[in-house]
Amino acid sequence: MIYCFDTSAINRLLDDLEREPIIKAILSVGSFRITAYNVIEAVKTTEANRRTRLIELMRQLANGTRPLDRPNTILLTYAEAHAARAGAARVNVDENLEGLWIALNEPALLDQEAKDEVLAWAKEWEDDFSETVAGDRDQFQSLFRKAPHERPKTTASTLRAYLSNKDECYSLIRDVYTRQTGKQLTNSEYGVLVREPVWPLYFLGYAYAIHQRGIKDESFAKKRNAGAIDLGQAVYLTLCDRFVTDDRAQYRGLRLLNVLNSKRRTKVMRYDTFRSRLFVFA
C-alpha cells in the first residue's frame, strides 16, 4: 500500500493529536511517497517553526526515499523512456530538485535565496496556469450568451469534448515529445505512449480547470477552484494506492480525473475519511 498526501493533508496530520499512531499505522502496512510539491509548499510556509516541523514530518514519512519529481518532469521522463525503448522510468531522480532533497534532510541548510527561488517558481507557474485556463473566459462567455445550448452542462462533458478531439491531443503531445527527445512521434507510437495514463491525467487537468474557470457561469473564482499544483498532482494518482487531501476543490477535481487512471485502482480521499478508515482499510 503506497500513500501520497497533498500538503493540506500533511498539515492536518501535523496538527493531529493522534499523529504518531497514524504514522505508525501507515508505515506498518505500506510506504509513503513525499512529492516535490509537498516540499515546495512546505518551503512556502511563512512561519519558520511550522515550516521546520512540516519538513521534519515529511522527512519522517519519506523514510529515506527521495521525493517524487514534479508532474511535468515525470511526463518528460516517460517520453524519454519511450523514445529509448526502456522498460521503466525513474520518477524521483530530477537533478534540479537536489535542493529539495537537501531541504528534506537538512532543513537548516535551506537559505533565503533557495526559498525565494522556490517561491518565484511556484508563483510563476500558478500565474501561467491561471492565464491559460481563465484567460479566454470573456470569449467563452460571449459565445455562450449567443448560443446558450453550446455551453457544456458538466465538467465531464468538457473532458469528453477534449478527449474526442484526437488530432489536437496528438498534436499537443507530439510537440512535447519531440522537444524533449528530438524524435518524431508517429500516430501508431502515440497510441502506445498514451496507454500510460499520466498523459491524459496531466493535460485533462488543464481541461478541467478551463471548465471551472472559463466555461462555468458561476463559482468560477480562482480562490474557489483547484489550481496548478492541485490538479498537476493527478499524475501522482498512477504512483500510489491512496491519495489524501484536505482541500475540497482538489478532492473534487482529482476524483473526476481519477476515472482516467487505468494504471491502478487508486482511491482519492479527504483527510477525515482517511483517518476514520485507516485501521479498517489500511
pLDDT at 94: 77
| Residue 118 pLDDT grade (very low, low, confident, very high; cuts 50, 70, 90) | low
pLDDT at 279: 64
Contacts of 65 (CB under 8 A, 6+ apart): 31, 32, 33, 34, 92
In angstroms, the CA 105 to CA 39 distance is 11
In angstroms, the CA 69 to CA 39 distance is 11
SS3 156: helix
Looking at residues 25-48, what average pLDDT do you find?
88
pLDDT at 175: 94
The answer, yes or no, to whether residue 145 has pLDDT greater than 70, is yes
pLDDT at 134: 77
pLDDT at 238: 96
pLDDT at 258: 96
Q: Phi/psi at 3 (nearest 5 deg)?
A: -105, 145
Identity of the residue numbered 33: R
**How many other C-beta atoms can be found within 10 angstroms of the C-beta atom of residue 242?**
21
C-alpha cell at 28: 506498518
Q: Give 164-181 pLDDT, tens digit per residue.
A: 999 999 999 999 999 999
- pTM of the entire predicted model: 0.89
Residue 279: Cβ-neighbour burial (10 angstroms; 0-12, 13-18, 19+): exposed
| Residue 254 pLDDT grade (very low, low, confident, very high; cuts 50, 70, 90) | very high
pLDDT at 35: 94
The answer, yes or no, to whether residue 217 has pLDDT greater than 90, is no
